[in-house]
């Protein structure tokens, strides 16, 4: 996914607030990772299980953000742990990401598209 370089601008009576796309992406990644059954974020051809330093930067690339006039749309690529219903995990991820991004940024979320790119097997 493309690097996130833009800002979401929220205009208030006393001025404007600019929220970097990387901030929105980080919120989305963390919300997705908290969903039961999500085993990682898919970046290109590799799955990222832990959100730390360089892995965190790769995880942000698993999120694509489109900003409209009124709302934002997100695309996330995830991997699902074997044994969890894929559709249920994807739907729960959509809900969690939309709720977290809206609550933590004040931005309206138009849609959250989930791309399940893999299944992880237990060791």
Per-residue pLDDT of 24-81, as tens digits, reads 999 999 999 999 999 999 875 444 444 444 444 445 577 999 988 789 999 999 999 9
pLDDT of residue 45: 45
The number of angstroms, rounded, from the C-alpha of 68 to the middle of its chain's C-alpha atoms is 17
Residue 93 has pLDDT above 80, yes or no: yes
pLDDT of residue 60: 57
| Nearest in space to 6 (alpha carbons), one of 16, 19, 17 | 19
How many percent of the chain have pLDDT more than 70?
A: 79
51 burial (CB, 10 Å; 0-12 / 13-18 / 19+) is: middle
**Whose structure tokens read 């995880």?**
59
Domain borders along the chain are 7-120
Average pLDDT on 84-96 reads: 98
pLDDT of residue 48: 46
Q: Determine which helix (DSSP H) or strand (DSSP E) holds 40, and give its type and residue range.
A: strand 38-43
What's 69-115 look like in SS3?
CCCEEEEEEEEEECCCCHHHHHHHHHHHHHHHHHHHHCCCEEEEEEE
How many percent of the chain have pLDDT more than 90?
A: 58
Please give the backbone phi and psi of residue 42, each rounded to the nearest 5 degrees, phi first.
-100, 125
Question: pLDDT: is 113 or 44 the higher one?
Answer: 113
Domain 7-120 has CATH 3.30.70.1350: yes
pLDDT of residue 90: 98
pLDDT of residue 5: 58
Average pLDDT on 5-22 reads: 79
Average pLDDT on 3-17 reads: 71
| Nearest in space to 71 (alpha carbons), one of 107, 100, 23, 102 | 107
Q: What's the rounded Cα separation, in Å, for the pair 29 and 26?
A: 5
């Amino acid at each position: 996914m493309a690097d996130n370089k833009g800002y979401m601008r929220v205009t208030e009576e006393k001025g404007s607030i600019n929220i970097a796309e990387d901030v929105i992406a980080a919120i989305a990644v963390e919300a997705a990772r908290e969903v039961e059954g999500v085993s990682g974020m898919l970046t290109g051809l590799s799955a990222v299980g832990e959100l730390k330093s360089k892995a965190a930067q790769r995880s942000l690339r698993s999120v694509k953000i489109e900003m409209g006039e009124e709302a934002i749309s997100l695309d996330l690529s995830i991997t699902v742990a074997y044994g969890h219903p894929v559709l249920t995990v994807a739907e729960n991820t959509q809900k969690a990401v939309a709720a977290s991004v809206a609550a933590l940024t004040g931005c309206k979320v138009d849609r959250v598209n989930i791309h399940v790119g893999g299944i992880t097997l237990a060791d």
